Amino acid sequence: MGELEGRVAIVTGAGRGIGAAVAEGLAAEGAGVLVNDLGAAVDGSGADASPARQVVERIVEAGGTALPDATDVTDFGACEALIRSAVEEFGRLDVLVNVAGILRDRMIFKMSEEEWDAVVDVHLKGTFNTTRHAAAYWRENRGGQYRLINFTSGSGLWGAPGQPNYAASKLGIVGLTLSCANALRPYGVTSNCISPVASTRMTATVRRPEAKGTYTPENRRMAPENVVPAVLYLASERSDWLNRRVVGAGNGRISLHTDYAVEREIVSSTGLWGDTSEVFAEIENSFKGALEHPNPFDRPRG
């Protein structure tokens, strides 16, 4: 018996990369999987139904249960049909994993409106589109052990300088997930984010000199399969205690990120602030000693 026997999952963006590994991992543990992928290029252009079909073929050959789907996650109405078809085909929906993503990297001072909109559309709106309809289904069908698993990124958590559209979308996904975590808990849903690292066609575009040798297909620690165990845990019934968090996965690590919390604070006893220069000094005295969290983008750049 697999850890996910009898459960039903949708994985978006599951035709390639991390999504494909997640879909295959879920199926290997006994879940029925709806394998969604538009089959777009890294920049979001084009469409091709064959990547999702090929993943389904591999799952079925390995003895698992899966169906392909080519829905574009930017289409709100089509995402309603996607949720409905999982329920019609498999009889239920327990797990939604939002992986679909694209890149249109550009520095903020050069970014076009179109580059901004395209990335926000796939990541943030796409995650909303599927989540919205799955949440309505879960609310109507209480009593399950439901799981929402959204994909964020270190790009958003730490602020990749060349990816303002992507960073904003990925941190927006965290906000959406935290809201869902609080809103959907009464209906048996946990909502968490995965912050992955893996060598895929998406990271083949990474040009940071310090990342040289890391994002290569030869580096087995960076295989998309290494992201999968953390996702499987979140998808399982055992993770019922874990809600509203970001979990890092990949490169041989699974990490629990800190919750958003106040780290330092100065307090005015009257609720009002007096002399500006005194407030400046108090801010510096208190905040400057705060813990420095490691930031992979905080390096001299050439």
Which residues are marked as active site?
153, 166, 170
Residue 224 phi, psi (nearest 5)? -55, -30
Say how far apart CA 11 and CA 14 lie, in whole Å.
6
Least Å distance between CB 36 and ligand NAD?
6
**Residue number of the CB atom closest to ligand NAD:** 17
Q: Select from 27, 100, 124, 135 the one that contacts ligand NAD (CB under 6 A).
A: 100
Using CB under 6 A as the binding rule, whether residue 18 contacts ligand NAD is answered as yes
Q: What is the C-alpha separation between 114 and 42, in angstroms, rounded? A: 15
Going residue by residue from 282 to 301, which x/- string records binding to ligand NAD, judged by CB under 6 A?
--------------------
Q: What residue type is assigned to position 137 of the chain?
A: Y
- Per CB under 6 A, which region of 14-22, 79-87, 176-184, 239-247 contacts ligand NAD? 14-22
Classify 245 as helix, strand or coil. Answer: coil
Q: Among the candidate windows 112-120, 131-139, 199-207, 240-248, which touches ligand NAD by CB under 6 A?
A: 199-207
Among 28, 74, 86, 244, binds ligand NAD (CB under 6 A): 74
* Cα gap 156→193, rounded to integer Å: 12
Q: How many chain residues bind ligand NAD (CB under 6 A)?
A: 33
Residues in contact with 41: Cβ distance below 8 Å, sequence separation at least 6, in sequence order:
102
Please give the residues from 237 up to 256 whose contact with ligand NAD meets the rule CB under 6 A: none
189 has which bridge partners? 146
200 near ligand NAD, rule: CB under 6 A: yes
Q: Contact region for ligand NAD (CB under 6 A) — 59-67, 133-141, 191-199, 252-260?
A: 191-199
- State how far the alpha carbon of 124 is from the alpha carbons of 20, 33, 100, 167, 182, in Å: 20, 23, 10, 11, 18
From candidates 2, 3, 30, 39, binder to ligand NAD by CB under 6 A: 39
CA pseudo-torsion sign 153, 156, 160, 165? positive
**Binder of ligand NAD out of 44, 64, 162, 248 (CB under 6 A):** 44
Q: Determine how many CB atoms are found less than 10 A away from the CB of residue 160.
A: 19
- Check residue 105 for interaction with ligand NAD (CB under 6 A): no
How many CB atoms within 10 Å of residue 163?
23
Q: Which residues bind ligand NAD (CB under 6 A)?
A: 12-13, 15-19, 36-40, 42, 44, 51, 72-74, 99-102, 122, 126, 151, 153, 196-198, 200-203
